[in-house]
Structure 1
Amino acid sequence: MPDRALSTPLDDSFERYLQDKGKGRGGGGGNYRRNAARELERFAEWAAGDRGADDWTGIADDVGREPTFDDLDERVFREYARHLGGDRGLKQNTVQTYYRYISAWCGWCVNEGYLEAHYAQRASAMAPLPEDDGRKPGDQQAWTSEQRHALTRHVDERARDAVEAYTTLPEDTDPLDKQRARYAALKAARDRALVFVLAYTAVRVGELLRDPNDPRRRGVRWEDLSVDDGSMDVYRKKQQWDAASLPDPVISPLRSYRQLMDPPTERWPVFPTFDQRTLAGLVRENLAERGERPEAIIERRAEYARDLLLALDEDIRPPSITTDGARSILQRLSEAAEIDIDHPKHDYLAPHGGRRGMGEVLVRAFGYTVAARYLDNSEEMVRERYSHIEAGELGDVATEALEEIDSVPQ
């Protein structure tokens, strides 16, 4: 192996690795890239002696020297596995996940000529890692039928009240007051449509909304929906466009919401951001690009109660809400609906819980094969994720068998 590679500082390889693993143009996007970058930074800090016990000085022989690839061997990765599994309170599967990011980078370094062996995968290096309990952190919540009905009923009532308040205003209502009522109705209708889509389509939230770390995930637009056909085109986790089903409960909220919004073009996002700061900047920038002077822009904005309404009239297309934005919305709605939630990680109905809850319904009603098709997953994956259902059914079979045997006279 060239001495140049061995003497290379560890972090000199990070950007190339992250570009190879990233998504989009230039490998600049994607959740994996973001998470891997975070863990590589932590590993580099630990290797340099900036993390760990008080007497930890890093992996370099000379204290204060920047660690290089020549300092890496299986003992280093063993110590890092022990560091991850220390008393920081990390769950077993979280430790495993963090170590896998570093292990994947180590394997890449072997292929790129930085290392001569995949030290991180050697048995002695991995020995201190705790056993993986098979559970993914934060991915276990499933909306129950009661929770789903409580949330959808709440957003439906809220949207109906807001729309009625807007559509029944007297003709002599002040224009700004009428705009405020329309804005409130739009926001309530958007929230209702979002909740119904998450509750009944089982679409991943990352397929539905904008992901700032992946430019290809810009959020569904009205041109992606075919409400009459009951389908929606989404960019799937498998990195390709595919049609998702829109079941009956979703159709009416979407139709009502679209009629109220009346988007100027089909390219408008179905779930635009309502963030005032974002919209204000967008409106000012677009009007300036169209030749409007600053004074005229101020006067134009003063005619509207909210910049979203000006954006609709001028076809200034806002971005979709982000996946984090959806979580904030669901936190707000779960609290307002006073839904009883008992979960170790989430005190609200998280987006993935809608998908998982729908999976429970489908598996119980139609079995694993149909559920796998609807969830856009392999049947093997669905059986693994919902194995508790089959276990319960087998338990019922065993109970029935025992009752039958015990009832036979001896």
Structure 2
Amino acid sequence: MREDATAIRAVIDRYLDGIEAGNSRKNYRSVLVGWAEWLRTDAEITSLDALTVMHCRQYARHLKRRVADGDLGANTANTYYAYVRAFLGFCVADELLETNPAKSARATDELPEDHGDRDRQFWRRKQRDAILTYVDRRAEEVQSAGSDREIRRAFRDRALVSLLALSGVRGGEVFAAAADERRTGLRWTDVDLDANAVRVFGKSREYEYAQLPERAGAALLDHRERCDPAEASWPVFPTAHGPSLRQAIDTQLGERGWSDEEIAERCSGTSLAAVLREESVTPSSLTTNGARSVMKRLCADADIDVRGEYLKPHGARRGLGHELYASGHAELAQSALRHASIETTHESYSDIRAAETAREVDRVLNRD
């Protein structure tokens, strides 16, 4: 009976029943269910009885890693933690916990520092156009003089940049994230070119459809024709990292009953790419770190300097939303970025609203 009373998912449901319906309840649910899933998979606990300060410290560290990977902003990470802390405060009030472990300084010390949005990068239109022009030109040039491998990589790079720049997807939705076992990268089964959409595992930890403009869809189609995936379940952006490919072979063939000696013999004198195809082994996806490395290389090759840095994957989404919002298309920005409400979009681009307000005030005050 005690275990049932303190089962984390059940208590979350009771807690949410007390929150007014609407976006706040939806946002809390998404974050708390994600936290409960993290506890279940990473800490192997499902009951409040087992929850400690160290688990909260580890969760704060997990959020910090996601910020470093570009999956979350520091402000968002701190908000997620605040939701968990509020929920555990409810548990104390209901006498399910004696103290709130999320309030401990040992836990909160691990949270990422939030400096606001001042240093958050977004791709400006000129930068987006420059990187798109470069990958287009590179894909065209390599066809006449490049090797098969160079051609495949050039078309992969163009598809990757086009998807990031134009669709509003998050890096963690299309590339594998080491800190989240459910984020395994976009698969070809998730791409619907006819419907101009891609199915992604969203920030809400539910599957969502992201819009896919024609230019990005065409780049994905060209990429698919060049890479020729052996199965529809293959990742859209498979890793080219040799040890990762070998690990996939070892794991999947081992699960089929192959011995280590048989696997080693099969890989001897044969390319890993050939083994993948011939033995129906699914490669792992390019990771978020791998995608950042690709963008670093492309920006260096294209001579695009971003204050000494490079165009980061998460900056593409912000840049798209910024341009749509600044052009007076707030609802379109909301739809393209899949924000739950227009209020979220307004909050995300409050700097633009403040600038517009300042200009309007100037016009009013300067009237004769």
1:40 has 2:57 as partner: yes
**Distance between the aligned counterparts of 1:218 and 1:265, measured in 2?**
16
Please, which of 110, 116, 128 is the counterpart of residue 148 of structure 1?
A: 128
Alpha carbon RMSD of aligned pairs, Å?
Answer: 3.9
**Distance between the aligned counterparts of 1:203 and 1:158, measured in 2?**
23
Aligned to 1:322: 287
What does 1:222-371 correspond to in 2, within 5 Å? 222-284=188-250, 286=252, 289=256, 294=261, 298=265, 301-304=268-271, 307-342=272-307, 347-371=309-333
Q: TM-score, normalised on structure 2?
A: 0.69
**Distance between the aligned counterparts of 2:159 and 2:84, measured in 1?**
40
- CA change 1:116–1:234 in 2 (3 A) is closer
Aligned to 1:199: 165
**Distance between the aligned counterparts of 2:84 and 2:262, measured in 1?**
54
- CA change 1:309–1:186 in 2 (3 A) is farther
- CA change 1:39–1:246 in 2 (3 A) is same
**Distance between the aligned counterparts of 2:334 and 2:121, measured in 1?**
18
Question: How far did 1:369 drift?
Answer: 1.9
Q: 2:34–2:205: 8 Å Cα contact kept in structure 1? A: no
Question: How far did 1:142 drift?
Answer: 0.8
Deviations 1:16-47 (A, max 9, x none): xx999342693438xxxxxx96862699xxxx
Name which one, 1 or 2, has greater alpha-carbon Rg. Answer: 1
1:391 has 2:358 as partner: no
Gap regions ≥5 residues in structure 1: 1-17, 30-35, 44-91, 127-131, 167-180
**Distance between the aligned counterparts of 2:363 and 2:225, measured in 1?**
54
Question: How far did 1:386 drift?
Answer: 0.7
Question: How far did 1:329 drift?
Answer: 1.9
Q: TM-score, normalised on structure 1?
A: 0.63
**Distance between the aligned counterparts of 2:197 and 2:75, measured in 1?**
36
Please, which of 372, 382, 402 is the counterpart of residue 345 of structure 2?
A: 382
Question: How far did 1:366 drift?
Answer: 4.3
- CA change 1:100–1:142 in 2 (3 A) is same
Q: 1:301–1:310: 8 Å Cα contact kept in structure 2? A: no
Moved more, 200-209 or 361-370: 361-370
- CA change 1:185–1:112 in 2 (3 A) is farther
Deviations 1:253-285 (A, max 9, x none): 111100011111111110111111111333355
Q: SS in structure 2 opposite 1:150?
A: helix
Question: How far did 1:144 drift?
Answer: 0.4
Gap regions ≥5 residues in structure 2: 1-31, 44-52, 61-73
Q: SS in structure 1 opposite 2:182?
A: coil
- CA change 1:237–1:37 in 2 (3 A) is farther
Question: How far did 1:360 drift?
Answer: 1.1
Q: 1:201–1:246: 8 Å Cα contact kept in structure 2? A: yes
